[in-house]
Every structure is written in structure tokens, then in C-alpha cells.
């Protein structure tokens, strides 16, 4: 524990020097956005990848990290078979930079490690290595972390470390219940909740349907958890999404004007508007990850 704290301080010192000389980060902040849900199959990976594309269209340098170590599929969605993935980083065989690959769509990805156990099962050393490696992605403007569904220590670590946690639900009662469940756990497990907790309602058939779900969620979170959850927006249920998945191309690429694409662009527009930006990006991420030990 003490070792880790010392190591962290040392890294922060180095970072400060770099900042002052303008070498390391150029005064730029990296915004870390975690995309998560209570229930699986609600659209996390689609939202992560397509949000990344919407950000790229705004000229941002974006990395999508597939942190779903059980069912990694960002690369599948993009029809890529990266040679290396997070498994190799965790095992210290590769650095994060080495495994990061550019896509033809102007975003970069860090592939997940399918079938790998949860990060919670990593040894302290492996975990620390992983965290240090994250720091090397600080040249990105945005890092979007696609997590697995549900609550694991792994997911909570990422959420705790992020600037924003985007919770995805669909209007299905089971998805709503599970989304509420994860919000509740975030509220109890992460003590200083100074990140933006945001809600996206996916697969809706009308604006009113989305609003009803969002109102319900934000009211319950406010009333019972004293937690502010911001309703970020909705995504229409759109046949283009599954078509795109089948063709292994993002729907934002196949049809940037389809209903789902327009919704995602709207969501990113909202994110940009309320980018507090002042949170210390990766530096803060490291601090928070360490403080959860």
C-alpha cells in the first residue's frame, strides 16, 4: 500500500515536471468516459464505438478501450483481429501503446481480452502495471472505456476513475431495475462522487418513452440515493444498428444520418457542452484507482 502511494507520488511529480515544460501533455486534459450498464446486451459497445466516432467527427483524438475482459467485442464490431490485447498488457508482455491500434475510421482501439477473468482477480502488481500503462494513453483527448455489465470490482474501479460514467439502459423493466442497481452501488461504493453520472436510454420508440424512463430513474436516484443523475439523451431503436453489427461496421460509418447516428451525435454534443474538463484526467484516474485499494 505504502509502496503504491509512493510510486504514485513519484509519477505525479514526473507528470508535473512534464506539464511545466509542456512536453508531456501540452496542458491538455484527457477526458475518461466509462460506459456501463446493469444488464448486458443493452448497447454499451455500440454506444462506446459510435460515440467515439461522433467525437472523432468533432476533431477529437479518441481511444476506445475494451475493458470487458469477459466478452470483449469492440474489435469484433469493427471487424479487426488485433494481434495483441489487454491480456498482454496485464501480463507485461506488451505496453498499452504497443497494443493500441488505429482503425480506418479515425479512432484507435485497445482490444479486450476475451475469456479473461475479471481485473479484480489480478495480482496487486499486475493491477498496478495496468494502471501505469493507462497513463501512456494521455495523448488522447477522450478515452472511452467499454465495460462489462453489472458490478464487479473491475467495473467499479473504472467508474471511480472516470470523469464521466455513462449508464445505459433500455426501457425494459429488467434493464431499468439493473441500471438502478448499479447506480445504487456506485453511490455506496465510491465515496467522493465528483464525476458526472449520466444516463442514456437506448432502444426507445419515442421521445416520450425515453423521457418517462429517464424521469423515473433520475427521480428515484435523487430521492433515495440523493444522487444527481443527468439525463444525457436517448437512442432510437433502429434497424440500422443490428445491420451495422452484422456488417461489422459502426452505424455512424454506414449511415451517419440514420436515427441512431443522429441520437449519438446529439448525446456527444451534450457531453461536449457540459465538459467540466477541469478534472485532472488520467492523473486523477490514477489517484482514484489507488485510493480504492
Ligand X SMILES: Nc1ncnc2c1ncn2[C@@H]1O[C@H](COP(=O)(O)OP(=O)(O)O)[C@@H](O)[C@H]1O
**Is 241 near ligand X (CB under 6 A)?**
yes
Task: Write the interaction track for ligand X spanning residues 22-61; mark x where CB under 6 A is met and - where it is not.
Answer: ---------------x--xxxxxxx---------------
Q: Is residue 80 a contact point for ligand X (CB under 6 A)?
A: no
66 binds, among Mg ion, ligand X, none (CB under 5 to 8 A by kind): none
Min dist CB 243 to ligand X, Å, is 9
Beta-carbon neighbour count of residue 227 at 10 Å? 16
Q: In angstroms, rounded to a whole number, what is the distance separating the alpha carbons of residues 156 and 134?
A: 16
DSSP letter at 116 equals P
What does 169 interact with, of Mg ion, ligand X, none (CB < 5 to 8 A by kind)?
A: none
Minimal distance, residue 20 CB to ligand X, in Å: 41
State which residue, 219 or 248, has the beta carbon closest to ligand X.
Answer: 248
Residue 79 carries which DSSP code? T
If the CB atoms of residues 198 and 288 are measured against Mg ion, the closer one turns out to be 198
Distances (CA, A) of 238 to 96, 136, 151, 226, 263: 34, 37, 28, 34, 11
Phi/psi class of residue 44: alpha, beta or left (left: φ > 0; alpha: ψ in -120 to 50)? Answer: alpha
Pick the closer one to ligand X by CB: 22 or 41: 41
Closest to 157 measured CA to CA, from 122, 209, 199 = 122
List binders of Mg ion among 35-54 (CB under 5 A).
44-45
- Helical ranges in 22-95 per DSSP H: 44-57, 74-77, 86-90
- Give me the least distance between CB of 3 and ligand X, in Å please: 36
Chain residues in the site for ligand X (CB under 6 A): 37, 40-46, 202-203, 235, 237-238, 241-242, 245, 260
Amino acid at each position: 500500500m505504502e509502496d503504491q502511494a509512493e510510486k504514485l507520488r513519484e509519477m505525479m511529480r514526473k507528470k508535473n515536471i512534464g506539464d511545466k515544460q509542456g512536453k508531456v501533455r501540452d496542458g491538455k486534459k484527457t477526458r475518461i468516459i466509462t460506459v456501463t450498464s446493469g444488464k448486458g446486451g443493452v448497447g454499451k459497445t455500440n454506444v462506446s464505438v459510435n460515440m467515439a466516432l461522433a467525437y472523432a467527427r468533432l476533431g477529437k483524438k479518441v481511444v476506445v478501450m475494451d475493458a470487458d475482459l469477459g466478452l470483449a467485442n469492440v474489435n469484433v464490431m469493427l471487424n479487426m483481429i488485433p494481434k495483441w490485447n489487454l491480456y498482454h498488457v496485464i501480463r507485461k508482455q506488451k505496453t498499452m501503446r504497443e497494443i493500441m491500434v488505429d482503425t480506418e475510421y479515425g479512432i484507435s482501439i485497445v482490444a479486450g481480452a476475451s475469456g479473461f477473468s475479471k481485473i479484480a482477480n489480478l495480482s496487486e502488481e499486475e493491477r498496478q502495471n495496468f494502471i501505469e500503462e493507462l497513463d501512456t494513453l494521455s495523448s488522447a483527448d477522450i478515452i472511452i472505456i467499454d465495460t462489462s455489465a453489472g458490478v464487479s470490482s473491475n467495473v467499479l474501479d473504472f467508474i471511480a476513475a472516470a470523469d464521466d460514467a455513462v449508464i445505459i439502459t433500455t426501457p425494459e423493466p429488467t434493464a431499468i431495475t439493473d441500471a438502478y442497481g448499479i447506480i445504487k452501488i456506485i453511490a455506496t461504493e465510491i465515496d467522493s462522487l465528483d464525476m458526472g453520472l449520466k444516463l442514456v436510454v437506448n432502444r426507445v420508440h419515442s421521445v416520450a418513452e425515453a423521457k418517462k424512463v429517464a424521469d423515473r430513474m433520475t427521480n428515484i436516484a435523487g430521492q433515495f440515493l440523493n444522487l444527481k443523475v443527468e439525463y444525457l439523451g436517448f437512442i432510437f431503436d433502429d434497424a440500422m444498428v443490428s445491420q451495422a453489427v452484422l456488417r461489422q461496421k459502426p452505424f455512424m460509418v454506414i449511415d451517419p444520418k440514420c436515427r441512431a447516428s443522429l441520437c449519438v451525435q446529439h448525446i456527444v454534443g451534450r457531453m461536449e457542452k457540459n465538459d467540466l474538463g477541469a478534472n485532472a484526467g488520467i492523473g486523477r484516474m490514477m489517484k482514484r484507482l489507488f485510493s480504492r485499494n
